[in-house]
Structure 1
Amino acid sequence: MDLKNSVEVSASGLRAQSLRMRIIAENLANADSVATTPGGQPYRRRVATFESEVDRASGAQGVSIRSIEGDKSAFQRVYQPGNPAADATGYVLRPNVNSLVESADMKAAQRAYEANLNAIEAAKGMTMRTIDLLK
């Protein structure tokens, strides 16, 4: 694999992790939101799934987002009869977002993003050293 391909692979990782971090930030922002209508559905946590993709021209294998889907786990039910979003029995559905899980996912995405940046910097450094040797 040449240096150009290695940078392209890392760049695909940067794009994927950047989108993952945006989705996690959206989940965290909506962790306390409830439905706007009585008995309605609150915000549903979203999860990004990755897939491997091959660049046919170079043969390099990168990563891309396969899909962004709603988490199928159950909503949390909280008894709040005075809440405008409460159903007929007084329960309000809360989002299925766990802030602790989202924070851990965000940290993992940040680390993966940093690793891809470091790989690009290493490729850039090797290119600069090669140019210096050719002088």
Structure 2
Amino acid sequence: MNDPLLSIMRTASSGLQSQSMRLKIVSENLANMDSTGLTPGAAPYQRKMVTFAQSLDEVTGAGTVTVDKIIRDQAPFKKEYAPNHPAADAQGYVKRPNVEMMIEMADMREASRSYEANLQMVRQAREMTSMMVDLLKGS
């Protein structure tokens, strides 16, 4: 028989790991939102996104989440007229990353809240386990 509290911990732990990766990708996107190519017409940094997949923990039978893929956003690059930039094409335009600050901030907030919710689940399961051990000691 599987321990329900262990299942809770495994599920929440997988959520913590997945949301940590999501936050890492958001931070990469924000850090590179001004990264252009180095040569004329070169592609700039391309925004990354995380996709998740559901899986089953064979030991506990708990439903878990894992990072499925890290994909590149296919949204078009922005163009900026900057004829003196080293990455400017023949018309003087530089391709800029397809990273939008507001989208990244929203993703960061959502990932952070999900991380906090999973962390609270771990805390709650630990507290319940501790209470159970205290009850068993008293018997």
Shorter-normalised TM-score: what interval?
Answer: over 0.9
Count the aligned residue pairs.
Answer: 135
Identity %: 45
Partner of 1:17: 19
Q: How does 1:56-135 map to 2 (within 5 A)?
A: 56-134=58-136, 135=138
What is the CA–CA distance in structure 2 between the aligned matches of 1:99 and 1:16, rounded to whole Å?
22
Question: Is residue 5 from structure 1 mapped to residue 7 from structure 2 by the alignment?
Answer: yes
Q: How does 1:38-57 map to 2 (within 5 A)?
A: 38-57=40-59
What is the CA–CA distance in structure 2 between the aligned matches of 1:101 and 1:57, rounded to whole Å?
37
**1:74-121 residue CA offsets vs partner (Å, 9 max, x unmatched):** 000111111111001100000000011101100110000000000000
What is the CA–CA distance in structure 1 between the aligned matches of 2:110 and 2:84, rounded to whole Å?
39
Moved over 6 A (4+): none
TM-score by length of 1: 0.97
**One-letter code aligned to 2:133:** I
TM-score by length of 2: 0.94
What is the CA–CA distance in structure 2 between the aligned matches of 1:92 and 1:107, rounded to whole Å?
30
**One-letter code aligned to 2:33:** A
**One-letter code aligned to 1:110:** S
CA shift for structure 1 position 2:
1.0
- What RMSD, in angstroms, separates the aligned Cα atoms of the two structures? 0.9
What is the CA–CA distance in structure 2 between the aligned matches of 1:11 and 1:23, rounded to whole Å?
19
